Structure 1
Amino acid sequence: MKTAEEKRASAAYIVKHGRIRPSHAVRNDAALEAAMVTVIAESGWDDLSLNKVSKAAGLTNGAVHARFADKGALGAHIWERQLRAPLIETLDTVITAGLAADASSPAIAAQTLAQFAAAMDAFIRPTVKVRAALDLAMGSRFDPQQRAAIFDPMAAWLRDRCQPPSVTPDPARAAQATAIGIWALGLVVFSNRPWVDAMDPAPAIARIHDALAHPAAAQPLPETKADYLRAAPFDTGDPRVDMILLSALESIGTVGYQRTHVALTTQAAGVSESFAFTRYPTKLDLFIAVTEAGYEQAYEDIVAFRESVAAGQGAGAAEAVTWREYLSPDVSGRRTVGIEGDRLSWYNTRMRDIAFAADTAVLDGLLAALPEATRPEMTGHLHLDFASGHGLPIIGELLPDSWQLPFDVVTTPHTASDPLPA
């Protein structure tokens, strides 16, 4: 049975050409769309080309170029035809289920938890289309036409879903909806971690459900700033290397990884190309150096910042302030670097090895003192905590005003039930 979009496309073809679209052309369209999804899911949107799609579809380059003027047209087409609905519908389902969390009776709590857990599982183990859709949406930000066709409508939908414009503003409910989005999208990013199949996420999801069912009253939060998000993170001992890394950080944070050029980066750093290329022969080498310099340190910085705020305000406020800082407008560049690193680690084995090694080291360190029998459950709790950290940058770009929401309505009850030792 044809979808509504397919019916509209068929009707438009008949109006334009006065006949039904030939069956072989319809089959080729389907093959191309399937190939687009596969290429994006396996190699990423940045690495997609019309020639790669034609090869994956088993068609000639001419067949693809006849349908799409350029990569941007292809992206807009596959977003509307195959990817937008799976991502938006899955997000809508999990937000609806999360906002319906209810613990007014054991039976109702069990029912709403089951619905929420099923919705969250779609992000713990996302479909190929959901993964491809998220990569395309975040990768489309750097081209004005692609952004207008993909990212901006996605952001507008999510804004209206979390903060409905037709009702009286409810910041607490908006914070809950946005928090659900943070966890959900972060879970997609972390869905390829090596421990996913061995963990037990059910208790962690139940903990989030309970926090949503028992929101705290919003409180004034301290204005404490996370200085580490705004400071230059490099101290290699060689000022020239530091300048190259800082220039790369700024470029990737502004135009993304694909559009960053080593030559322009070194020029902006005031360093000779020969000096830079001797140390970083490729753009990937440069991004890996940027990542290695800050990935593990980021874990330490987050813990230190949360502990400093928690000492005077409590764990719930500390978590809310940490979220606010990651969502702040003035750290958009740092968020973008994190998003680009996450995107690349899905498709590049060298970047993946760095991320997996750092994540696994932190996980193993936290689990080391715990009884063996509790590790699947505790891994689930840590996995959800990690996911929130990787969902925050995505939400920060999609919902740039979300930093103003009172996230302590969620983080206060959530941290109060933290099963992990301090």
Structure 2
Amino acid sequence: MAVSDESIMDAARHIAASQGWAGLRFRTIAAQAQVSVRPLRDRYESSSQLAAQLWRGQLCDSLIAQVSEAVKCADQVVLNNHNDSLAALVEQFFQPSETLKASMELLIVARFDPVIALAVSEKFPHELERLLFGPESAPDRSLVAKRCLIVLLLFGLVTERWRSWASEIASHEISKLLEQSLRREVNDEVLPNDQATFLDEPQDFHTSDPMWEALLGTLVQSVARVGYEATTTDQLAKESGCSEGFIFRKYPTKRDLFVDAAHRGAAHYTKLQLEFANDMAQRYSEAVGGAVLLREWLLPKHEDKRTISLELSRVALHDEKLAKLMTDEQMPVLEENLQIPNSAGNANLLALAHVGFSAGSGAFLLSDLLPQFVSLPLTVVEF
């Protein structure tokens, strides 16, 4: 019986959504499609080429259609003062379909896989620009910024759904916060020149062992460069100056090494970000403080930090241990700074925290797809 491309792509989409990039391999896809591996090897040179075809054939146009709906929804709220479809739209991304999950997975993987990156670049960024900026030669910057806001938040809701507190939030709480932001006047003034210097400092993993520090630092750099799956312990040993024996004395598996590095960094950056944003808010305003922090994160020199942040979220989506550790590290910081009494506390504050993380993740994705986003009034990202 002939094996159809559609059945292969359907299986690949399911694997990408449920297992992520790590599972998107010929044998796994063949098993899901209930076929032999041979037809896949005959048609595709690599998993990357198969994933690129999945993007072109099933994911790209679907995501463009959903972005189009998001832009229409933003325009309705901003221009026509009604939000008939906003809650339903947020629910679609808060409880994403298999297609949406697979789309966000490949958008992140495209950061370090050139074959998938080429497929993404062929059409999606151009359509994104067309939808967000519209046909006008001089579009309203405030309106474009608000269109970007709804898209980046929706993207982020998909990538940040691994956070355990997400299950305690109702989607209508998020749509309420989003509507408030869409209706708010946008401050388009030049932002102050304050710098988030903590982003320039080498991360301290607090091991008190120089070789251990070097190993964890090398891991982070490698994951930002080639992704988690392509990072090997052999490569880490060579680049950090230790032995593989040293690595495996510390960690039973590469996964344990990654989990440790991730949870050591999670609380560190969360605390520093909140301190910086709070300081900016006291000196200027919450909107300006958040915008300055976002501007600093979006600087070209911090691309590796953005990539590692997105990669952590991508891997956490398919790794409960990593997700729990990162949530456990961040929750005390949020409780202290947002005055959330406990993980089952005030739903509004939990929603606010989740929207903040989602907006950041979505902004990282959007800024790479649409570099013009950085020049828009970033104060729009205020909740």
Please report the TM-score for the alignment, with normalisation by the length of structure 2.
Answer: 0.89
Deviations for 1:39-88, whole angstroms, at most 9, x for unmatched residues?
11111123311111111111111232233332233112211222222222
How far is 1:326 from its partner?
Answer: 1.8
Corresponding residue number in structure 2 for 1:320: 291
Residue 326 of structure 1 contacts residue 396 of structure 1 at CA under 8 Å; is this kept in 2? no
Match of 1:184 in 2: 154
CA distance in 2, matches of 1:278, 1:156: 49
Q: Aligned partners of 2:230 and 2:44: how far apart in 1? A: 22
CA–CA separation in structure 2 for the residues paired with 1:378 and 1:201: 13
1:360 Cα offset (Å): 4.7
Moved more, 46-55 or 374-383: 374-383
Q: Would the alpha carbon gap of residues 382 and 146 (structure 1) be closer, same or farther in structure 2, given more than 3 Å must change?
A: closer
1:149 aligns with 2:119: yes
Aligned to 1:298: 269
User: How far apart are the structure 1 equivalents of 2:325 and 2:221?
Assistant: 21
Aligned partner of 1:61 among 37, 40, 46: 37
What residue identity is the alignment partner of 1:282?
T
User: Following the alignment from structure 1 to structure 2, what is the Cα–Cα distance between the partners of residues 243 and 195?
Assistant: 33
CA contact (8 A) 1:99 1:212 kept: no
Aligned-pair CA distance for 1:289 = 2.2
In structure 1, give the amino acid aligned to 2:149. Answer: A
> In the aligned structure 1, how far is the partner of 2:283 from the partner of 2:298?
22
Match of 2:110? 140
Shift in Å at residue 301 of structure 1? 0.9
Distance 1:191 1:349 in 2: 12
2:203 alignment counterpart: 233
Bigger CA drift: 275-284 or 243-252?
275-284
Show structure 1 runs of 5+ residues with no match: 1-23, 416-422
Structure 2 residues not aligned, in runs of 5+: none
* Partner residue in 2 for 1:250: 221
Matched-pair contact (CA < 8 Å) for 1:189–1:390: yes
SS in 2 for 1:391: helix
Q: Which moved more, 1:393-402 or 1:383-392?
A: 393-402
Count of residue pairs brought into register by the alignment: 380
Q: Using the TM superposition, give the Cα deviation of residue 358 of structure 1 relative to its aligned residue in structure 2, in angstroms.
A: 3.3
Which amino acid is the alignment partner of residue 33 of structure 2?
Answer: A
CA separation of 1:352/1:192 partners in 2, compared to 1, >3 Å: closer, same or farther?
closer
Structure 1 partner of 2:352: 381
**Does residue 1:82 correspond to 2:82, yes or no?**
no
User: Structure 1 pair 362/60, CA: closer, same or farther in 2 (3 Å)?
Assistant: same
Partner in structure 2 of residue 10 of structure 1? none
Question: Contact 2:90 / 2:174 at 8 angstroms: preserved in 1?
Answer: no
Q: Is contact 1:40–1:132 with CA below 8 Å preserved after alignment?
A: yes
The corresponding residue for 2:2 is: 25
Identity percentage of aligned residues: 24
Q: CA deviation at 1:169?
A: 4.8
Distance 1:252 1:152, change over 3 A: farther
Q: Do 1:44 and 1:135's aligned partners in 2 also have CA atoms closer than 8 Å?
A: yes
Paired residues of 2:59 and 2:102 also in contact (CA < 8 A):
yes
Aligned equivalents of 2:171, 2:350: Cα separation in 1: 8
Residue 18 of structure 1 is matched in structure 2 by none
Where does residue 131 of structure 1 map in the other structure?
A: 101
Which has the higher Rg, Structure 1 or Structure 2? 1
Aligned-partner residue type, residue 83 of structure 1: L
Match of 2:354, as an amino acid? H
Q: Deviations over 1:314-358 (max 9, x none)?
A: 111001111111222111000111111111111123222223333
- Displacement, 1:359? 4.7
The residue type paired with residue 132 of structure 2 is C
| Aligned counterpart in structure 1 of residue 316 of structure 2, from 314, 336, 345 | 345
Q: Is the 8 A contact 1:248 1:265 kept in 2?
A: yes
Whichever residue aligns with residue 219 of structure 1, its letter is: E
After alignment, is 226-235 or 199-208 more displaced? 199-208
Superposed displacement of residue 252, structure 1: 1.4
Supply the RMSD in Å over aligned alpha carbons.
Answer: 2.6
